[in-house]
């Protein structure tokens, strides 16, 4: 199927995604053909995450210490790309079995989540709602907005909001969280509206319970202490390091927001959908796209496939894709969610917002 045909197919799907019946052969094949590659491998997760974090922080130090603007920018870009990859392991943490990688969640939070003020609590218990059969694409989905059905100005606003994310995180962690300890209504508001990486403004998060509540306490304490330290160190020793760090994290946030823009077609109008409908509203950008590993790392270039197999570890998605495409063939339902690259997807979404309704 050509890119133009896929764009036209996406336009036609706006009114009927919720009514697409499940392709049972695709769903069955997705499970049966990938059973042997469904285990998370510690020998891949640990080196990848640790190396990404190390490169990111070394490059960040280079950006802070650089004597020339060009060198600082170059180091900043490298830092953003590496930290972006390290940060997106938060997505894996929500899906892998809690006993699959002992210590991984703790170390990731210590090295990445808390330093970047995005501990795993901001995704765990929220992202799984996006995969719930009856929630996806509805008003109860924290990670869905019908962007393809909204006005053209909504797309640049969506991107620009990401630029402000690191400042918002500092305010949340250094000011609002501590104040919430003594002002319970504020604590409730911050938890409901500003404790998750969600894009649906109508989403309200439920209070944490049990073991998760204890984990939330320690993660928020760590993030708040770190945010306060950043502000105090900036006041005492100068703001340059913090401002450069904010710039790098802003670039990370923009990259993630652009990836989010093309993770789905965003054309569902609130109805519950079949699994196949959810798949066709989602996007794969498989090889030969060369830049996808940079803007959609840690397996997120296979986002549609991820919606078929949410617990499949990121390092197995490429092989799963090859098996399914070979088995089901070109022109199949599976092939309809495969796209060639970022720019055609952005163009499709922009065209969708400008279509008169």
SS (H, E, C) 266-330: CCCCCCCCCHHHHHHCECECCCCCCCHHHHCCCCCCEHHHHHHCCCCCHHHHHHHHHHHHHHHCC
Backbone phi and psi for residue 61, each to the nearest 5 degrees, phi listed first: -60, -40
What is the reported pLDDT for 15?
46
pLDDT at residue 1 in the model? 45
Reduce the secondary structure of 149-192 to three states and give it as a string: HCCCCHHHHHHHHHHCHHHHHHHHHHHHHHHHHHCHHHHHHHHH
DSSP code of residue 112: I
Mean pLDDT value of segment 53-66: 98
User: Tokens 């894996």 label which residue?
Assistant: 92
Question: Distance between CA 174 and CA 166 in Å, rounded?
Answer: 12
Residue reference for tokens 């036209």: 8
Characterize 84-107 residue by residue with b for buried, 16 or more Cβ atoms within 10 angstroms of its Cβ, and e for exposed: bbbbbbbbbbbbbeeebbeebbee
Q: Hey, how many other C-beta atoms are within 10 angstroms of the C-beta on 212?
A: 13
* In the predicted structure, residue 270 carries a pLDDT above the cut 50: yes
* Alpha-carbon span 301 to 342, nearest angstrom: 10
Please report, for the chain, the start and end positions of each structural domain, with discontinuous segments joined by +: 3-39+264-354
Q: Is the pLDDT of residue 3 over 80?
A: no
Q: Which residues share a beta bridge with 302?
A: 284
CA–CA separation, 12 and 45 (whole Å): 40
Q: What percent of the chain has pLDDT over 90?
A: 79
Tens of pLDDT, residue by residue over 181-208, are: 999 999 999 999 999 999 999 999 999 9
What does the alpha-carbon distance between residue 15 and residue 192 come to, in Å, rounded to a whole number?
Answer: 32
Q: Which residue has the higher pLDDT, 43 or 134?
A: 43
DSSP H or E segment with residue 63: helix 42-65
Residues 6+ apart with CB under 8 A from 105: 93, 98, 120
87-108 mean pLDDT: 93
Give the pTM: 0.93
Q: Please, how many CA atoms are within 13 Å of residue 266, restricted to the half-sphere of its CB? A: 26
User: Does the pLDDT at position 91 exceed 50?
Assistant: yes
Q: What is the mean pLDDT of residues 213-226?
A: 97
DSSP H or E run through 62: helix 42-65
Task: Note the pLDDT of residue 18.
Answer: 66
């Amino acid at each position: 199927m050509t890119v133009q045909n896929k764009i036209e197919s996406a336009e036609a799907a706006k009114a009927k995604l919720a009514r697409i019946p499940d392709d049972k052969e695709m769903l069955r094949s997705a499970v049966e053909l990938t059973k042997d590659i469904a285990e998370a491998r510690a020998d891949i997760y640990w080196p990848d995450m640790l190396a990404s974090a190390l490169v990111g922080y070394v490059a960040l130090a280079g950006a802070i210490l650089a004597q020339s603007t060009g060198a600082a920018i170059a180091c900043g870009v490298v830092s953003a790309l590496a930290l972006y990859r390290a940060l997106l392991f938060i997505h894996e943490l929500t899906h892998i079995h809690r006993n699959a990688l002992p210590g991984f969640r703790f170390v990731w939070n210590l090295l990445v989540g808390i330093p970047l003020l995005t501990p795993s609590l901001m995704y765990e218990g929220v992202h799984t709602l996006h995969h719930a059969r009856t929630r996806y694409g509805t008003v109860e989905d924290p990670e869905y907005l019908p962007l393809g059905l909204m006005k053209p100005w909504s797309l640049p606003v969506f991107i620009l909001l990401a630029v402000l994310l690191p400042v918002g995180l500092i305010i949340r962690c250094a000011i609002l969280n501590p104040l919430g300890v003594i002002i319970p209504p504020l604590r409730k508001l911050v938890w409901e509206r500003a404790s998750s990486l969600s894009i649906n403004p109508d989403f309200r998060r439920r209070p944490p319970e049990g073991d998760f509540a204890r984990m939330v306490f320690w993660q928020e304490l760590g993030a708040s202490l770190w945010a306060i330290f950043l502000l105090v160190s900036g006041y005492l020793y100068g703001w340059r390091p913090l401002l450069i760090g904010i710039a790098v994290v802003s670039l990370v946030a923009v990259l993630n927001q652009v990836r989010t823009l093309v993770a789905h077609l965003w054309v569902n109008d609130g109805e519950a959908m079949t699994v196949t409908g959810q798949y066709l509203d989602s996007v794969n950008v498989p090889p030969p796209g060369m830049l996808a590993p940079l803007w959609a790392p840690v397996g997120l270039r296979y986002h549609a496939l991820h919606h078929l197999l949410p617990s499949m570890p990121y390092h197995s998605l490429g092989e799963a894709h090859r098996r399914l495409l070979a088995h089901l063939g070109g022109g199949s339902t599976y092939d309809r969610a495969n796209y060639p690259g970022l720019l055609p997807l952005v163009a499709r979404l922009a065209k969708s917002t400008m279509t008169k309704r």
